[in-house]
Structure 1
Amino acid sequence: MEIVITGRHTQIKQRFRDVVDSKMNRVTAIAPDAQRIQVVLTHEGNPRQADSAKRVELTVQAGKTVIRAEASSADEFSALDMALDKLTQRLRRVRDRRKDHRRGLEHPPLPADLPVDDQPGDEGDQGDQGQESNPDNSAQTAVASDLAPGQSVEVQVGDTPIVIRRKLHIAEPMSIDEALYEMELIGHDFFLFVNKETQRPSVVYRRHGWSYGVFEIDTTEHVGQKK
């Protein structure tokens, strides 16, 4: 399995690399088909956030499945352990779901009270791979530029703190149940997908309590044609 370690606002020390390498057997033990894991260590410079100054994001690619987890702590090693615990729980759910599928069993019900990561990133994000700069620093270019699958563009709007990030995500049509499952795997509180029943771009999201919601997007012209 390929292990890629990157740092944001921090340098990666050799000791951290060694610890990561020693712990990744937990991933391969559960998901032997895992091809790649992206480890991103981020340092928060605000002294008021010392208790969560280090954030570790883990993204595993196993076939067509992407599983993600992240955690923050005062040091990178504690954050790594917490993120790895979340990741292995999600990997076990993937493994168990595959076993049930082979046995012809129904998918197990999705838990509605899973904890949400403190700072979710982009859906399916794998660090800064494929990210391009915007030389003319214009919001128009960030929104209108053509992107390749998995590629992203990020730009700061003028002198404001507003940053626009756009990424092209290739989605296979799936059911709402499958979209909820994928949302739980990456640890976000929303997930974009194409509903295979309606062929509409859709998003599932976590509501308060024990419920989920789903939005579907269509145009007035397209809906009118169906009448």
Structure 2
Amino acid sequence: MNLAISGHHVSVSPALRDYVASKLDRIRRHFDQVIDVNVFLSVDKLIQKAEIHLRVRGKALFAEASDENLYAAIDLLVDKLDRQVIKYKDKRVGFEHDALKHQPVPT
């Protein structure tokens, strides 16, 4: 899983980077086929905003959350993304197909 964290009007400290990575472990526990993750953190006056773009095979998931505290925004973001990943995984498991069965050719 490729992880890219960037910030707008906020410096991404190693502590913040570790916090985001530890929260994303929860996503990886539910679904291990994540291709890459882009996290975008921003500050606009008093509102802290976190966005995430998660690519899995066949789909791209997006979630965003905002709060007065950046850590709380990240928590909300991961909760939203976790629900999306579980829903995607359930839909994907439901579409497994059996092998084609050969029907006898009528003569």
Q: Which has the higher strand share?
A: 2
Q: Does 1:98 align with 2:92?
A: yes
> What letter matches 1:29 in structure 2?
R
> What letter matches 1:3 in structure 2?
L
Aligned partners of 1:97 and 1:66: how far apart in 2? Answer: 14
The residue number in structure 2 matching 1:77 is: 71
Percent sequence identity is: 24
The residue number in structure 2 matching 1:60 is: 54
CA shift for structure 1 position 92: 0.5
The residue number in structure 2 matching 1:37 is: 37
Q: CA RMSD in A?
A: 1.4
1:9-36 CA distance string (max 9 Å, x none)? 2211221101011111111112211011
Aligned partners of 1:101 and 1:63: how far apart in 2? Answer: 14
In the superposition, the TM-score normalised over structure 2's length comes to 0.85
In the superposition, the TM-score normalised over structure 1's length comes to 0.41
Structure 1 ranges of 4+ moved more than 2 A: none
Q: How many residues align?
A: 98
Structure 2 gap segments, 5+ residues each? 99-107
SS at match of 1:102: coil
Structure 1 gap segments, 5+ residues each? 105-227
Trace 1:25-174 onto structure 2 (pairs within 5 A).
Answer: 25-45=25-45, 50=46, 53-102=47-96
Aligned partners of 2:93 and 2:22: how far apart in 1? Answer: 28
Aligned partners of 2:13 and 2:25: how far apart in 1? Answer: 20
